[in-house]
Structure 1
Amino acid sequence: MIIYVIDDDEVVRQSLEILLAGEGFETEAYASAAEFLARADARTRGCVVADIQLPGLSGLDLISALRARGFTLPVVVVTGHGNLALAVEAMKRGASDFIQKPYSADAMLAAIRGACEKQGEMEAESPDLAATREGLAKLTSREKQVLLKLVSGLPNKIIAYDMGLSVRTVDSHRAAVKKKMGGGSLAELVRKCIAVGLLGAESSSQTPSPSKLNANLKETRAR
């Protein structure tokens, strides 16, 4: 099991690495969330321990980025005293647990082991989870946009209008998405997206309603 330690304080990173190595964990340390995200791919497994107040991308941003990419890595966030509201927000975004500074070695180890155990149970219940993650990692940015709109219930012609594409192009992207995601019906795609935490990763408020888009299409044709 690899524990990814993300903290901009080198002393903290080294201390955690020593603690975790003593308990038999393999570790990788990063000074920023961006550095970790640049290295993470569909094969990345383990548990993330990240300070919630990181430079650049915060711990909250990190969780959102991981979930948006389809990663289900458990994340234990570390918060400072008095940051309970941030810790709660982290849990809402998908963090497995949080721990407040100053923390004891036992408390940190308990949080990590608990997060790893929960993740193991989830993956045991969903044997195709790894395949789904790998499929998501193969999608292009445009294909992922199409996928998110498909699982939101939008038909191809509405997706085409919304994205400024032809219906034929959307059909092509849809076929590529199904192939890379292992085929199946739209309902199966929805199930897979829910399983990896992707569904809802982007705000539905950004997408006009079907009725509004239909009205826009009619207006465009009338011109």
Structure 2
Amino acid sequence: MTVFILDDDEAVRDSIKELVESVGLAGEAFGSANEFLAAYDPGRAGCLVLDVRMARTSGLALQAKLNEMKAPIQIVFITAHADIPTVVEAMRNGAVGFVTKPYREQELLDNINEALSRDAAVRSVATRDDSYLRMLDALTEREREVMQLAVQGLPSKVIAQRLGISHRTVELHRSRLLEKLGVGSMVELIRLAAERRA
């Protein structure tokens, strides 16, 4: 995981980079929003430590741009000028934390660790969702129909009547779709489907 540091003050960038590297994290520093955006890869795990006030593009403007891009990066703001409306706007738009300069090292590290944890959680859910969608793609059209009715809690006899097929054929489809989706029972399948809809 990488801690991306964006501040137009070189001394601040260097000190934060040194701090994160001192605890074994990778750090990459940028002097402007454009420089960061040119290098940004949504596939890379990490978080962004972002200065609120910068010369060309403010931290809040960059946050808005990243949200517009549906970028998954978690942001910790850092600023010497923390006014309440700015903090409220940043937090409402998804910021993990707000640290004032001169920052306390442990406070900044705590916020960074929280952001990295959130990033890992978001990526884990995305990976599970991708995996689930790939498994759904492996189902036949009939297996999907059986699944849609089964997750509503309908018994095989009712599913057979609804689809105009035999009870035995429904049972066969149910066992195949459980196997393809990697679950051991209909209860697990119902739970899996509910989680993915949530």
Q: Output the CA distance in 1 between the equivalents of 2:50 and 2:8.
A: 10
Match of 1:148 in 2: none
- Alignment TM-score, normalising by the size of structure 2: 0.61
Q: Output the CA distance in 1 between the equivalents of 2:130 and 2:11.
A: 34
Match of 2:96 in 1: 96
The alignment yields a C-alpha RMSD, in angstroms, of: 2.2
Q: Output the CA distance in 2 between the equivalents of 1:2 and 1:107.
A: 18
Kept after mapping to 1: 8 A contact 2:7/2:13: yes
1:11 matches 2:11: yes
Q: Which amino acid aligns with 2:32?
A: S
1:61, distance to aligned residue in structure 2 (A): 0.9
> SS in structure 1 opposite 2:54?
coil
1:32 matches 2:32: yes
Q: Output the CA distance in 2 between the equivalents of 1:34 and 1:94.
A: 21
Query: For 1:43-63, what per-residue CA distance to the aligned partner results, in whole angstroms no more than 9, with x for missing partners?
Result: 333110010001111100111
Kept after mapping to 2: 8 A contact 1:46/1:74: yes
Q: Which stretches in structure 1 are left out of the alignment for 5+ residues?
A: 132-194, 196-223
Match of 1:146 in 2: none
Q: How many residues align?
A: 133
Match of 1:50 in 2: 50
1:130, distance to aligned residue in structure 2 (A): 7.8
1:81, distance to aligned residue in structure 2 (A): 4.2
Of structures 1 and 2, the one with the larger relative CO (CA 8 A, separation 6+) is 1
1:115, distance to aligned residue in structure 2 (A): 1.2
Match of 1:113 in 2: 113
Query: For 1:161-203, what per-residue CA distance to the aligned partner results, in whole angstroms no more than 9, with x for missing partners?
Result: xxxxxxxxxxxxxxxxxxxxxxxxxxxxxxxxxx9xxxxxxxx
Kept after mapping to 2: 8 A contact 1:79/1:87: no
Distance 1:127 1:52, change over 3 A: same
Distance 1:129 1:68, change over 3 A: farther
Q: Output the CA distance in 2 between the equivalents of 1:6 and 1:47.
A: 11
Query: For 1:71-111, what per-residue CA distance to the aligned partner results, in whole angstroms no more than 9, with x for missing partners?
Result: 11001011224423212111112212111222210000000
Q: Output the CA distance in 2 between the equivalents of 1:27 and 1:130.
A: 29
Distance 1:106 1:66, change over 3 A: same
Question: Which runs of at least 4 in structure 1 moved beyond 4 Å after TM superposition?
Answer: 128-131
- Alignment TM-score, normalising by the size of structure 1: 0.55
Q: Output the CA distance in 2 between the equivalents of 1:33 and 1:62.
A: 7
Match of 2:190 in 1: none
Q: Output the CA distance in 1 between the equivalents of 2:35 and 2:130.
A: 23
Q: Output the CA distance in 2 between the equivalents of 1:119 and 1:128.
A: 14
